[in-house]
Chain A
């Protein structure tokens, strides 16, 4: 038992929900979600009124990691020097309980504005056309809850590894931001160096050919989904009823448009043609990836936190 962690979670939740910061972060998510609803025929055909929900995917996918880094970095590392963290630690609560309370409280505090954003998208759908189907909307929301929870778990774990807030936030921004910006560019370079290259012609009206790595699709697709943002896109695309892919829904719709090819959008069902998509590339596995990645970082942080003295 991690001890009496619920009061910690409740306090962290209240602090987070009352924070102006999380509500300010909601603004770009809501603006993007309300103003960038896809209106194309293909979007209507494949998403229906879920377009009003899908338009929140990008905002949540990008803003959530930033929010988790800023909120999570201070939880332990930044609070070690503050007397009140030590005061909580001298109460009958274990260190794992202390960390879990912070994760649950901060994550649920962040989920409130995100849920409000998704609800606004739902209302937008109700007003603009008809109500988006409830079940996929709830599925999208649950996937977003999982995304927030796992990223906060990882960030609190990272925070517990260090003695101040700067190191975990800096590391997360540099590593996370770097991966977000360059992972899709670096991964092909890595795969080309391992598997060699092959020339591929696209099937568009323009005769375009490009050089790709000879890595098996299963390998490249799996590696691409290891990035938390891509894992989130994969999972939410599935809840929205889109094909199995780790790209943003807006690009998926573009790819699904007849006579159009979107670069770097791989629809696995099409790519595998008649063969079944391997189980480990099922969208639900992206949820497992998120859980595994965050649990690994959290366990590392907990181990460090539990084995260091509190006065250090």
Chain B
């Protein structure tokens, strides 16, 4: 895969305040990248710079082969954006929104088909300012998808969405990924990030403090996976065996179950193999991997 979004030593100062501090970001084509960070960490400023809306103080950027500072129009033609707190145009209906953005992007789009993708076909002739928050987000998503751009930037896409709306966003992101679209999205709803993202970047005080896959970040953060076993008879033998394994950090016995803390998700199979090899019968096994929330807390 090739790199489609990159920043090198990106800096943005607002007076004495450094909003983004030497950000180095690398996102490969076709991935879903979760951009996480607390409020004021520099996420929106970074997205603004990537879109050519904010001028960086220093550093370089590249999106789909174009520098947003030099060729902002070329960059924006390759990017579909759902901005945070998307506000519809006054007096335009949903259908007119799709038509307007299609014209701006030089695309011929059937508004009804575009709106039905996000479940808004029945509201297409209503003025969009009268839409609920969830409907507005859906409209924004439909507009971001116009022309099937190779990059999608979704800034807090789950804000105001009900469970059905959130599912719709997830479905759209997954469908776009299968088409090879690269998605960069920021969200505070970490559960959504976990189910969608191939890669995660965590920004704190303008600096990228962690970047990589979930497994990679677990390892980097030394976050442990917890596997809970139920053993038929030989509980003490199982504890001794598990305790002797190198990949195991800690073993605890909570009556009928054994809880094993180990270093990564994949190693729980090694545990199972070792127990089976020693003819210890496992009646049940559950695995609890570190969540994005755990990773987020570890790095911020």
Contacts and interface: CB of A to CB of B under 8 A. Distances in A.
B87 A311 contact: no
A90 interface: yes
Interface in A2-50: 3-4, 6-8, 10-11, 15, 18
Nearest to B146: A91
Interface string B86-98: 1111111000000
Interface residues of A, number: 25
A84 B97 CA distance: 11
A4 B87 contact: no
B153 to A, nearest CB: 9
A311 B77 contact: no
Interface stretch (B30-38, B100-108, B186-194, B257-265): B100-108
Nearest to B129: A84
Contacts of B22: none
Most chain-B CB neighbours within 10 Å: which of A3, A84, A89, A310?
A: A84
Contacts of A307: 55
A142 interface: no
A83 to B, nearest CB: 3
Contact of B104 (A82, A84, A91, A310): A91
B213 interface: no
A4 B106 contact: yes
B85 A89 contact: no
A92 B104 contact: yes
A273 interface: no
Interface in B43-58: 44-45, 48, 51, 53-55
Interface in A188-215: none
B18 to A, nearest CB: 15
Contacts of A93: 73, 76, 104
Given A15-B91, A91-B105, A310-B48, A7 B76 contact: no
B160 interface: no
A224 B83 CA distance: 50
Given A309-B48, A311-B44, A86 B105 contact: no
B74 to A, nearest CB: 8
B72 A94 contact: yes
A93 B74 CA distance: 9
A88 interface: yes
B81 interface: yes
A92 B53 contact: no
Contact of A83 (B48, B51, B87): B87
A87 interface: yes
B141 to A, nearest CB: 13
A144 B16 CA distance: 49
A91 B53 contact: no
Interface in B6-45: 44-45
B48 A311 contact: yes
A88 B104 CA distance: 8
B44 A90 contact: no
Nearest to A15: B91
A49 to B, nearest CB: 41
B279 to A, nearest CB: 63
A91 B76 contact: yes
A165 to B, nearest CB: 15
Interface string B146-158: 0000000000000
A11 B81 CA distance: 21
Contact of B53 (A6, A7, A90): A90
Contacts of B106: 4, 92
For the complex of A and B, list the 7 residue pairs with the smallest distance between their C-beta atoms, beginning with the closest. Answer: A83-B87, A7-B103, A92-B77, A310-B53, A309-B54, A91-B104, A92-B76
Interface of B: 44-45, 48, 51, 53-55, 72-74, 76-77, 79, 81, 83, 85-92, 100-101, 103-106
16 contacts: A6-B103, A7-B100, A83-B85, A86-B83, A87-B83, A89-B53, A90-B76, A90-B79, A91-B101, A92-B73, A92-B74, A92-B104, A309-B54, A310-B48, A310-B54, A311-B45
Interface of A: 3-4, 6-8, 10-11, 15, 18, 82-84, 86-94, 307, 309-311
